[in-house]
Amino acid sequence: MTTSDPLSRQSAKVQRDAKISDSVKARRCAALAVMDVTANGTALELALAATEDYAGLAPRDRAFARAIAATVFRRSGQIKAVLKPFVRKAPTAPVQAVLRTAVAQIIFMDVPPHAAVSESVDVLKSRKTTQGFANFANAVLRKVVEDGKKLAAASPPKANIPGWIRGEWERSYGKIPMTKIAVQLIKDPGLDLTVRQNREDLAAATGGTPVGQQSLRLKTIGDVTALPGFEDGQWWAQDLAAAQPAQILMRQFEDVKNIRALDMCAAPGGKTLQLAAAGMDVTAVDKSSGRLKRLEENLARTKLSAKIVHKDALEFDAEPFDAVLLDAPCSATGTFRRHPDVLHNRSPKSVADLVRLQDKLLPKAASLTAPGGVLVYAVCSLQPDEGFPRIKKFLENVPDFRLIPLLSLPGLDLPPERFEGGVVRTLPCDMPKSGGLDGFFIAAFRRKA
């Protein structure tokens, strides 16, 4: 992105950039990242990190850049509706990206409109290829300041969800839940921690609310490393829904101590930590070395242990395990509350590719499950194809496994239809009073003894 994008390809750049304030640089990072996510399917965090100014910015400016880009993806449909009357012919991608980031600030963020307009115009002026659009953008954004709020209000939250995803969710979950899911996209999701012990003490120290079996819910994200208990590994960040697959697996055993468990796609390790903290003898496999490094850091901080294997799980072999967790690679569309870019860097084709991989990983996980053992399949996806059809195909093709019907989740208030077919499907609009949760699909199986 940094070498090929039109905003960055400039010769006298260094000299000119010396005159640019950090807040303009932050806005430029946001626009570049928006382009990268949209054009190349890059994850937002990686796209931001790849922009040349990002690493040199203060944490506050980096957070500002991230908040602008995330708002563009949370409000994509409404931003489009705001710009439509004022932009007759689509400008080049870099100019569009700057306009979208400017509208995000003017309408949806706590930013003074005049600063959003003038600094966005400065972003365009900072590059030769875009400086010719400065007057045009200035005129458009002034109109946005005047009329943008009305235009945004006339566009419903569900307009922020790309059409192909909206169609799949509406067909699978219904029109009303779809509308409620869309409302979760424009809300601040807060932060869930999975707490090892003394949850009430941590709740008192942080003002958080205990929820589910092991989680503590905080209203704002902030600097997690500054929270009490971080240094000595009393907890780790993990969405309430993401904590369920390991809990379901552990509940199938009377005593989990020393049970041999395999976490097949383990990094960065939230579920490995849960299994290890309960006393299981855990082997954690993942094919990404970068993500495994984070798993190692998490184990070190929490002083927990697991045997780490850097390998493609399809090529991993070992003595079968009593407990196997397959938290499969998936589109991750269920995590849109904290990662709104997932709705903009996925496609029907990328989902189909993942489905093929899931269809290989599930039988592989079965082959690594001992007779009488338990296998749990989970995906943090809301796409229907990554859920029920996968386990239906698995049960048709792999003998010796039967579904363990899941009828409720302790401490979670979910409607009965979330357990249809003996599996669990959480929707982001569930438990709205306590703030919602990620979208997960979870199924559990036992192998014949």
Ligand X SMILES: C[S@@+](CC[C@H](N)C(=O)[O-])C[C@H]1O[C@@H](n2cnc3c(N)ncnc32)[C@H](O)[C@@H]1O
The contact set with ligand X (CB under 6 A) reads 265-271, 285-288, 291, 312-314, 327, 329
Asked if 141 and 117 touch (Cβ cutoff 8 Å), the reply is: yes
Q: Cβ 294 to ligand X, closest distance in Å?
A: 9
Min CB(214)–ligand X separation in Å? 14
The one catalytic residue among 29, 265, 380, 429: 380
Give the nearer residue to ligand X in terms of CB position, either 55 or 314.
314
196: nearest Cα among 229, 167, 161, 151: 229
Please say which residue, 187 or 287, places its beta carbon nearer to ligand X.
287
Tell me if the bond preceding 6 is cis, omega within 30° of 0: no
Number of Cα atoms under 13 Å in the Cβ half of residue 25: 21
State the minimum distance, in angstroms, from the CB of residue 107 to ligand X.
33
Q: Minimum CB separation from ligand X for residue 377, in Å?
A: 12
Residue pair 330/365 in contact (Cβ under 8 Å)? The answer is: no
Q: By C-beta, is 227 or 265 nearer to ligand X?
A: 265
Angle 76-83/134-153 helices, nearest 10 degrees? 120
Selection from 67, 97, 69 nearest residue 6 by Cα: 97
Using alpha carbons, select from 247, 251, 249, 281 the residue that is nearest to residue 375.
Answer: 249
Q: What share of residues in the chain are helix, strand, coil (percent, to 5)?
A: 50, 15, 35
Shortest gap between Cβ of 423 and ligand X (angstroms)?
Answer: 17
Longest Cα–Cα distance in the chain = 74
Q: How far apart are the first and last CA of the chain?
A: 53
Residue nearest to ligand X (CB): 265
β-pairing, 260-263 vs 235-237, is unpaired
φ, ψ of residue 377 in degrees (nearest 5): -110, 130
Q: How far is the CB of 168 from ligand X (least distance, A)?
A: 19
* Residue where the block lists tokens 């002026």: 125
Q: What is the 3-state secondary structure (H, E, C) of 215-280?
A: EEEECCCCCHHHCCCCCCCCEEECCCCCCHHHHHHHHCCCCCCCCEEEECCCCCCHHHHHHHHCCC
Active-site annotation holds for 29: no
Give whichever of 70 and 342 is closer to ligand X, judged by the CB atom.
342
Whether 289 contacts 309, CB under 8 Å: no
Whole-angstrom CA distances from 218 to 40, 192, 193, 370 are: 34, 6, 8, 39
Nearer Cβ to ligand X, position 152 or 361?
361
Q: Which two tokens stand for residue 258?
A: 């020393």
Return the number of the residue (82 or 354) whose C-beta is nearest ligand X.
354
The nearer residue to ligand X, 7 or 267, going by C-beta atoms, is: 267
CB of 194 to ligand X, least distance (A): 10
Separation in Å, CA 23 to CA 45, 61, 65, 266? 18, 7, 9, 38
Q: Which is nearer to ligand X, 111 or 267 (CB)?
A: 267
Residue with tokens 């059409």: 163
Cβ 245 to ligand X shortest distance, Å = 8
Tokens at residue 371, please? 């007779």
- Please name the residue that has the structure tokens 């041999």: 260
Active site residues: 380
